[in-house]
Chains A and B, each alone.
Chain A
Amino acid sequence: MSKISIRNLYKIFGPTPDQAMKLLQEGASKDDIMAKTKHGVGVDNATFDVHEGEIVVVMGLSGSGKSTLIRCLNRLIEPTSGSVSIDGENVTVMNPDQLRDVRQSKLGMVFQNFALFPHWTVLKNASYGLGIKGTDPAEQEKRAMEALELVGLKGWENSLPGQLSGGMQQRVGLARALALDPDILLMDEAFSALDPLIRRDMQDELLNLQEKMHKTIVFISHDLDEALKLGDRIVLMKDGKIVQIGTPEEILTEPADDYVERFVEEVDVSKVLTADSIMKKTEAVAHLGADGPRAALRKMRTNNISSLFVLNKGRTLAGIITADDAAEMVKRGEKDLSQIICTDIKTVLPDTPAQDLFGIIHNLGYPLAVVDETNHLKGVIVRGTLIAALADRGGNE
């Protein structure tokens, strides 16, 4: 069962949304509806699921309805129609008490401009949600301190938010949400107000934290690089409508329409970036003749990989072996790696543009080898490094 499930969600701004709703369902555009009924379309028939433990980035330009959408999830904005279910419970029909309860127990929120209470210390801010919930004060302090420590703000608990830098303030915002230990984090452009370097740090930090916490995160962003870096899946919005939902790779390689394509084109670097700037040099190779299956297995284990490239005597690329085959060989007591080597592998030249790499690496069961004209192994590329390289280009500016 999915953690959050959003079904046919609409939000129309204005006093009498019925007529606008009807026009919308007849297929009228956002601008037409504005002209005819003076009602704004915030979200237009959004349907998607968020699974437990995944980061879904909702992305779009300003005015695309992404902020409205996230606010419909905890009903800071009342949806006009449709439903939002969290753990199978329909939030849209809850009474104020039930809603407050869900907000306190399941939904932590982090805001674009931090939204810290300026007259409270960092510690008091971090324990805000717990205070609202009525947790006992000693417990409040303990959990708030733990959360602050988690985001690296130990020692700052008695400062006021105004004395902290933007990045640190947002850490407080994150700690405030984490102190409640909610299942779900709603992050509304959480890093957009930070400068690029700090933003990258915060993204890395969020990914680190996520490895430990496994929260379900809905992240709003207008920045494709950020979306590619953070998102397990990306929901692309335009004029209140969802235009595409997919993994970062699918968005990049199979843009659903012109709009997405234009978005993706902004990642110009994918054309400029070439294989040799993305690849990682690797020491983890087996040498034909010198290494047996045991040595190969040990190399895979120490490097945490499940397949290994094999080089000929002259250091040219011979092929690849897998851990399973090598283990099988050890059992049979055989020594010669050439028996299990797969020589029919994909290779690319160092100057292959990143754009082309997507198509090649997609559904490739093993890492992609980068070789020069003389078939010498230069490095390897895995899917993760490719995406990360694109996402990280912000740091080179």
Chain B
Amino acid sequence: MVYRIPIGGAIETAIDFLVEHLSFITQAMSDIVETGLDYIVDGMLLVPEPLFILAVALLTWKLSGKRGIGVFALLGLSLIWNMGLWEATISTIALVLLATLFAIMLGVPIGILAAINKTLYRIVMPVLDVMQTMPAFVYLIPAIPFFGLGKMAAIFSTVVFSMPPAIRLTCLGIRQVPTELVECAEAFGSGRWQRLVQLELPLARSTIMAGVNQTVMLALSMVVIAAMIGAKGLGGEVWKAIQRLQMGRGFEAGIGIVIVAILLDRVLQRVGKKD
């Protein structure tokens, strides 16, 4: 038999090694994040549903500047409540927002650094290609040994899966600043940091926001998949329905996800375009 290159074996050994030496940190993170998330979800659930729905409807209306979206929020969330998916939806939204927050906090600075440093750029871009083409399910596997089944594992795999657009578009936005403007900053004796803050970030803003928008959407889709490793929420409902072959229940949860996705997308798109 032909020699088989032990790629799988090597990766497994590497991950085992990391798990063995890092799990005390990752487990602690897991505990902290899960407790925090529980508090957030519990807090959100304390608000009476009608009040919450009304507040979100008003907020989306204000943020998007379109009444239609406010009305959509009102009707869509009422439908979710009516289908008995309220708790699952709140849990999903909390998970998505937290994962997105992490992804952006990591992704935007990495994007900035990659735009500034050519070597880093050459390293980061192929890694991003791999991250984006790797099937999403694969990320679930290493998440479990590090964080155990549950929400932190879900957040971890979601962050890994949804971060690439934030990095890529931040980097793109900065590199797209017209050469002449960059030359102008240079010619007037601007320092690197001044150039970044005064020129590049403001001009890259809408591109960065487009990246944030994509990150949120990817996070939502990954949170659903992460139900397989204990993320619960709307994805958990779908996962349950698959296992029990409850077609109706599965579609109901699916409709809930679509409603949340549309709301997030419309609001973020408007925020990105505002100048």
In Å, the complex CA distance between A322 and B8 comes to 100
Q: Report the minimal beta-carbon distance from A122 to chain B, rounded to whole angstroms.
A: 15
Is the CB–CB distance between A111 and B189 below 8 Å?
A: no
Instruction: Report Cα–Cα, A132/B187, bound state, in Å.
Output: 11
Instruction: Tell me the smallest distance from the CB of A291 to a CB of chain B, in Å.
Output: 57
- Say whether, besides A112-B180, A132-B194, A117 and B187 are in contact (CB < 8 Å): no
Contact of B199 among A107, A113, A117, A129 (CB under 8 A): A117
Q: Does A109 contact B (CB under 8 A)?
A: yes
- Is residue B248 within 8 Å, beta carbon to beta carbon, of the partner chain? no
Let me know if A109 and B203 touch, CB within 8 A: no
Nearest B residue to A114, CB-CB: B180
Contact, CB under 8 Å: B198 / A117 = yes
- Note all chain A residues with C-beta closer than 8 A to B191: 100, 132
Determine the distance from Cα of A99 to Cα of B198 in the docked complex, in whole angstroms: 21
Interface 1/0 per residue, B188-221 and A, CB below 8 Å: 1111001000110011000000000000000000
B181 on the interface (CB 8 Å rule)? yes
In the complex, chain B residues whose CB is within 8 Å of the CB of A129: 188-189
Q: Closest chain A residue to B183 by CB distance?
A: A76
Of A74, A101, A119, the contact of B187 (CB 8 Å cutoff): A74
B186 in the interface, Cβ–Cβ < 8 Å?
yes
Residue B184 is within 8 A (CB to CB) of chain A in the complex: yes
Map CB proximity to A onto B92-129 as digits: 1 under 8 Å, 0 otherwise.
00000000000000000000000000000000000000
Whole-angstrom CA separation of A248 from B171 in the bound complex: 48
Query: In the bound complex, how far is the Cα of B202 from the Cα of A99, in angstroms?
Result: 26
Are B189 and A133 interface neighbours, CB within 8 A? yes
- Interface size on B (CB < 8 Å)? 16
In angstroms, how far is the closest chain A Cβ from the Cβ of B207?
Answer: 14
CB neighbours of B190 from chain A (8 A): 132
Which residues of chain B come closer than 8 Å to A176, judged between CB atoms?
A: 188
Q: Is A104 an interface residue (CB 8 A)?
A: yes
Interchain CB contact under 8 A, A104 and B180 = no
**A115 & B189 in contact (Cβ 8 Å cutoff):** no
Total contacting residues, chain A, CB less than 8 A: 24
**How far apart are the CA atoms of A111 and B184 in the complex, in Å?**
8
Q: How far is the CA of A104 from the CA of B190 in the complex (A)?
A: 9
Query: A88 at the A/B interface (Cβ < 8 Å)?
Result: no
Contacts of A229 in B (CB 8 A): none
Inter-subunit contact A111/B202 (CB<8 Å) = no
A104-B188 contact in complex given A118-B203, A119-B202, A132-B194, C-beta closer than 8 Å: yes
| Chain A residue at minimum C-beta to C-beta distance from B199 | A117
Whether B187 contacts A107 by the Cβ 8 Å rule is: yes
Evaluate contact between A109 and B184: CB separation under 8 angstroms: yes
Q: Which residue of A lies closest to B275 (CB)?
A: A119
Encode B9-48 as 1/0 by CB contact (under 8 A) with A.
0000000000000000000000000000000000000000
Bound Cα distance A71, B183 (Å): 9
Q: Which residues of B contact A109 (CB under 8 A)?
A: 184, 187-188
With beta carbons under 8 angstroms apart, the residue of A99, A115, A128, A132 that contacts B183 is A115
Which residues on the B side are within 8 Å of A133 (C-beta)?
189
Chain B residues engaging chain A, CB cutoff 8 angstroms = 178, 180-181, 183-184, 186-191, 194, 198-199, 202-203
A-B pairs with the 9 shortest C-beta distances? A104-B189, A115-B184, A103-B189, A109-B187, A100-B189, A115-B180, A129-B188, A119-B202, A132-B190
A residues contacting B by CB (< 8 A) are: 71, 74, 76, 99-101, 103-104, 107, 109, 111-113, 115, 117-119, 128-129, 132-133, 176, 180, 186
5 A-B pairs whose Cβ atoms sit less than 8 Å apart in the complex:
A100-B191, A103-B188, A109-B187, A129-B188, A180-B188
Given A109-B184, A186-B187, 8 more contacts at CB 8 Å?
A: A76-B183, A103-B186, A103-B189, A111-B184, A115-B181, A117-B181, A132-B189, A132-B194
